[in-house]
Amino acid sequence: MQAVPLAIHLFQIAYSEASRAAIEPGYAVLDNLANPRPDWYEYWPIRQFLLEQPLDEAAFYGFFSPKFRSKTGLTAAQVRAFVTAAVHTAQADVVLFSPQPDMGAFFLNVFEQGETFDPGLIDACTQLLRGMGHDVPLRELVMDSRQIVFSNYFVARPAFWREWLKLNEGLFAVCEGPDSPLRQALCLPTSYPAQRKVFVQERMASLLLATQPQWRSVAHDPFGFAWSQSKLQQHPTEAYISDALKLAWRTQPFPEYLRAFSAVREQVCAAPTPLLLLERGAAFQAVVRDYEMVARIPSGHYNFGGNSVGFKSIVHHVFPERQAQALTLLDIGFGLGDLGRLVKSHPQSAHWHVDGVDGYFDACCNTALFEQRLYRNVWYGLAGSIPKEALQRYDMLCLFDVIEHLDAAAAKALLKSLLESLGPDSHLVLSTPLFFWPQDQHHPGDLEEHKIGVPAHALLGLMPTAYHISSQHLIGTFVLSRRSLEHLDNFVPVETPAFTMEAGLQHLHELGLQADDTLYR
């Protein structure tokens, strides 16, 4: 008699039309195009599915982000084959496909790992769990690769998903409920553009597997997946040993296993950290992470430039009611770092976090700038390489005197992409000359050539929430929101140098406006 094929329902989350179009064969679409709650990352669409859709009790379900293939290298067919084998040979309830094996191997558990990068996470989790009736010693809990899973990359029976949802709904209730010290601790911003609650949510599957022995789990070999970008990835042999020692301890809790684990970890942590060389022409490369240099700058002579004359102080007026919060900004085309310097030197915003991205190689070699710790994260490359779901988590995307360096079609495409990438409460802050300002490149590859001029009506027609026009340079600075997408047809730049400063001023006067250095809201 032929065996009935195992029902395995695999979904890939679509955050945009582009990510929807890129969904690979073998996956159903989990539609999150509206993305009403980007602050909850993957939990929001998975939650909606589990709350609204009936589940087949004999089936398995998995919900993956668009990065699953790049992090694991697995196709949907390979996932199905592994799940099928795990169920038939080990009667698995949960099958894990966890990347970043070094982040699992070198820590006692996923909470200790999270605490390392976000101090205070364990205390917040402990208080949350106690409030739900679970007293778990998170600082002592031991997990190996059979329990550790990051990024919600697992496939499981409905019974496990229900337990997972129950725990996470407890978290959700606190974070969505009335203000309290615990709510504040769970909603605290982190060095990554996400609140702590996202990383707590991500660890609930591991908690269930480590504390509820009824679940049978099988892990795909994590060491063949993508490793982290930390220095731990440089010690693969020690990672294998560390996971094996924890696995041995969970099988037979001999204290010698954990002593050996601690000795291996101390040896790894004491090893020096070689920095990766920053490569000219790289598609996208991290230069600074959490205010520390993570790339080695090659020796040579660099031409630093790219300062702008846009009204950068406008960022202090975008969220007047939220200035006490740790707002996050992305400085696209950061140049000499004027925006980071302004934000970090002002008492009103010194606690904010500014990230930067620039496609000009020399700008990303400005070690003196980065040593001032003005920028939390810096990337060499184009903003288009940053996933939209990551852009949505910034409070402000800042584009000071950048768009005029593109031709008309590219400028409109960039503007559309950034507006689509705004979160529901975030803004795009944009400045540009309101005329064609002739400028050629100063140095090879510096992206300094101006290719368009932008008449005032082209940006005022986008219905900005605030704007400022400088009298000295006729530079307009505008604060835009997602509703500007509805008026994108009004953005019509000109590509002729004949649109001079005088022509730009005349056009402004015809609109009944003045370049008077006043902030209009």
283-340 per-position pLDDT tens digit: 788 899 889 888 889 888 888 866 678 999 999 999 999 988 999 999 999 999 999 9
The more confidently predicted of residues 386 and 275 is 386
Is the predicted pLDDT of residue 441 greater than 70, yes or no?
no
Is the predicted pLDDT of residue 191 greater than 80, yes or no?
no
Q: Report residue 246 CA to chain centroid gap.
A: 31
Is the predicted pLDDT of residue 119 greater than 50, yes or no?
yes
Quick one: average pLDDT of 349-373? 94
| Burial profile 287-314: b = 16 or more Cβ within 10 angstroms, e = fewer | bbbebebbbebeeeebebbbebebbbeb
* Cα-only R_g, the chain: 25
Q: Tell me the backbone φ, ψ of residue 458, rounded to 5 degrees.
A: -65, -30
Residues making up the chain, counted from first to last: 521
Angle (deg, nearest 10), helices 121-131 and 110-117:
130
Reference 69, options 20, 2, 23; nearest CA is: 23
Reference 39, options 463, 459, 392; nearest CA is: 392
Q: What percent of the chain has pLDDT over 90?
A: 79
Reference 70, options 210, 225, 216, 191; nearest CA is: 225
- pLDDT for position 37: 93
Is the predicted pLDDT of residue 182 greater than 50, yes or no?
yes
Sheet of 217-219: strand order equals 28-31, 8-14, 60-64, 154-156, 94-96, 217-219
pTM of the model: 0.62
| Cα–Cα distance, 235 to 225 (Å, whole number) | 15
